[in-house]
Amino acid sequence: MLALLCPGQGAQTPGMLAPWLDEPVLRERLESYAAVTELDLVALGTTADAETIKDTKIAQPLLTAASLLSFQALGLADVPAPDVVAGHSVGELAAAAVAGVLRDEQALVLVRERGRAMAEAAAARPTGMTAVVGGKPEEVEAALARHGLTPANVNGGGQVVAAGTREQLDALAADPPARARVIPLQVAGAFHTEHMAPAVGRVREVAATLEPADPGVTLLSNADGAPVTSGVAALDRLVTQVANPVRWDLCCEQLLALGVTGAVELCPGGVLTGLARRTLPGVETVAIKSPDDLPAARELMTRHGGTR
């Protein structure tokens, strides 16, 4: 059984779209995405520096466009379609498009407004996110509670992302859980927490203008890892996800329960396939970073797809 994974914020890197634009069809598609997002995605994906593309209102549309562009390049004419799709945080919007819940343009409109709304919410107060790697789960949980932090991303494999104010994160760095590494993340706010509550209303307003379809393949939700069978329910979960934790650990448990044997991570791949080595034992993976990775991805899809 085959899974397709869509990475989330923080996976972006400078120049990540440059290798894709040698193909005129892909350049034209990216330019059409740029018109929808009202951003110069060609420049942002090729020449912009890391600080520029860290900006939430840029990073989120850029990541969604990258995943959708690589999905188009992957092509499904000669390889099986995925059996199940999942995305991490903002990657869930690309996953919804891949699953047929939203058209590409709808996903890009939603992510455009999501990024803007979350950037505005983040600007209200200095907040951020820190990865906590290792340590006993109960001790990590106690440390976050002690400092008033939210486990915003529970990624599995001994990795939890704490989110909160800069003061709270500084306190965690000074008083970390035993036997755990504390790694500040290059993101601009405390995403998936109460600090993002002001953004939810704006995202809901935009979502209300869209007409989602029911998923054409199994689509997993970040809320609890459960398959979402209704397009309306999927869209509602995309809205509430903005201010609620991402349970990627539960998505991974569901992938294993469904019998997934192979997984391809769309561009900019690497983060989720890295996690998969700890959270998806026995599952073969390919991360798509550039067009050079497409043959390996297609080969994996051919061997693992079409088994439902």
**Which pairs from 276-281 meet CB under 8 Å and 24+ separation?**
276/252, 277/157, 278/156, 278/157, 278/158, 279/155, 279/156, 279/157, 279/248, 279/249, 279/252, 280/252, 280/255, 280/256
The reported pLDDT for the residue numbered 275 is 93
The predicted structure's pLDDT at residue 75: 84
Both tokens assigned to 286 = 């390919």
Instruction: Reply yes or no on whether 147 is catalytic.
Output: no
The pLDDT score that the predictor gives to residue 132 is 96
Structural domains counted in the chain: 2
Burial class (CB in 10 A: 0-12, 13-18, 19+), 253: middle
Pairwise CA distance, residues 74 & 78, whole Å: 10
Whole-number pLDDT of residue 187:
80
252 in the same domain as 109: yes
35 and 174 both lie in a single domain: no
Per-residue pLDDT, 305: 87
- Do 199 and 263 belong together in one domain? yes
Query: Is the same domain home to 198 and 74?
Result: yes
116 and 136 in a common domain: no
Distance of CA 49 to the CA centre of its chain: 21
Kindly state whether residues 68 and 14 are assigned to the same domain.
yes
pLDDT the model gives residue 238? 97
Which domain range does residue 162 map to?
127-184
pLDDT digits (tens, 9 = 90+) for 222-247: 999 999 999 999 999 999 999 999 99
Q: Which of 88, 147, 192, 195 is catalytic?
A: 192
Taking 80 as the threshold, does the pLDDT of residue 77 lie above it?
no
DSSP state of 127: E
CB distance 254 to 220 below 8 Å: yes
89 is catalytic: yes
Average pLDDT, the chain: 95
| CATH number of the structural domain spanning residue 167 | 3.30.70.250
Collect all residues with Cβ–Cβ distance below 8 Å to 164 and sequence separation of at least 6.
127, 128, 147, 148, 149, 150, 190, 193, 195
pLDDT digits (tens, 9 = 90+) for 18-42: 999 999 999 999 999 999 999 999 9
Tokens of 118: 């979350």
Percent of the chain having pLDDT more than 70? 99
Catalytic residue among 67, 70, 89, 221: 89
Q: Same domain for 164 and 273?
A: no
pLDDT tens string 144-191: 999 999 999 999 989 999 999 999 999 999 999 999 999 998 787 999
In the prediction, which pLDDT does 78 show?
78
Tell whether 250 and 206 lie within a shared domain: yes
In a shared domain, residues 150 and 116: no
CB 152 within 8 A of CB 246: yes
What's the average model confidence in pLDDT over 58-64?
97
pLDDT tier, 214 (very low <50, low <70, confident <90, very high otherwise): very high
Give kind and range of the element (H or E) at residue 15: none
Task: Please tell me the predicted confidence (pLDDT) of residue 307.
Answer: 55
